[in-house]
């Protein structure tokens, strides 16, 4: 959902109080843009693209001063520019959704700067899960090979923290990743999409454990 100012401030408080509100706004708008692209809502997608561009203008110097890697800054610059282009060009739904999700792909590195209460690794898991769904919608699962492996790697760094919060939730997410890998390895497009959606639902559950 779109982050209104008071929601952004609430989220900042939940993540330790130090995450810039413009950063939480960008993260929320990118996820909204992804949803709106797939829903075919071009006007709402354009609104989110504009929100992201303006917020990034305000935010870039802040995160740079706070230690954001130059590679991340450059990637974010490129992603924001590509998002603006996707909002005005006659692109297909999955192309627009990928442009929005590319912004989400920078969020883990940026949120990590502020040591949030909700693990920033979850942002990378979200990003990769959405990429797999887009691969399935485009009926090509080549990119999903890498995305599933990266999800496994990130989960390896996070699983212990989640297990200490709720072992059953950790077990459920481990199983959802195994289901996702199995669906992808079988080249079953619909099963891969369903499994990726299930992992995204599980990520929401994990986020709630840390709030």
CA–CA distance, 96 with 49 (Å, rounded to integer): 10
The pLDDT confidence band at residue 114, using thresholds 50, 70 and 90, is: very high
- The mean pLDDT of 95-118, rounded to a whole number, is 97
The predicted model scores a pTM of 0.88
Which residues lie closer than 8 Å to 76 by C-beta, 6 or more apart? 56, 60, 103, 106, 110
Extents of the domains making up the chain? 1-117, 122-211
Cα(121)–Cα(125) distance, rounded to whole angstroms? 6
Q: Per-residue pLDDT averaged across 118-129, rounded?
A: 97
CA-closest candidate to residue 138, choices 105, 95, 103: 95
pLDDT single digits (tens) 20-38: 999 999 999 999 999 999 9
Tens digits of per-residue pLDDT, 131-190?
A: 999 999 988 888 888 999 999 999 999 999 999 999 999 999 999 999 999 999 999 999
Count of beta carbons in the 10 Å neighbourhood of residue 140: 11
CATH class of 1-117: mainly alpha
CB 134: neighbour CB atoms within 10 A?
24
């Amino acid at each position: 959902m779109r982050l209104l100012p008071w929601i952004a401030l609430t989220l900042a408080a939940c993540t330790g109080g130090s995450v810039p509100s413009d950063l939480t706004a960008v993260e929320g708008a990118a996820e909204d843009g992804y949803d709106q692209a797939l829903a075919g809502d071009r006007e709402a997608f354009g609104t989110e693209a504009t929100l992201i561009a303006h917020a990034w203008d305000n935010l870039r110097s802040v995160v740079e001063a706070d230690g954001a890697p130059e590679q991340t800054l450059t990637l974010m610059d490129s992603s924001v520019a590509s998002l603006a282009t996707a909002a005005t060009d006659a692109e297909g739904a999955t192309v627009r959704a990928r442009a929005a999700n590319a912004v989400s792909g920078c969020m883990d590195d940026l949120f990590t700067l502020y040591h949030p209460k909700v693990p920033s690794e979850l942002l990378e898991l979200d990003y990769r899960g959405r990429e797999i769904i887009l691969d399935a919608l485009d009926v090509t699962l080549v990119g999903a090979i890498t995305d599933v492996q990266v999800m496994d790697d990130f989960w390896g760094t996070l699983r212990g923290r989640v297990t200490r919060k709720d072992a059953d939730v950790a077990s459920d997410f481990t199983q959802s990743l195994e289901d996702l890998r199995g669906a992808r390895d079988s080249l079953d497009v619909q099963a891969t999409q369903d499994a990726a959606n299930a992992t995204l639902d599980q990520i929401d559950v994990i986020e709630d454990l840390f709030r």
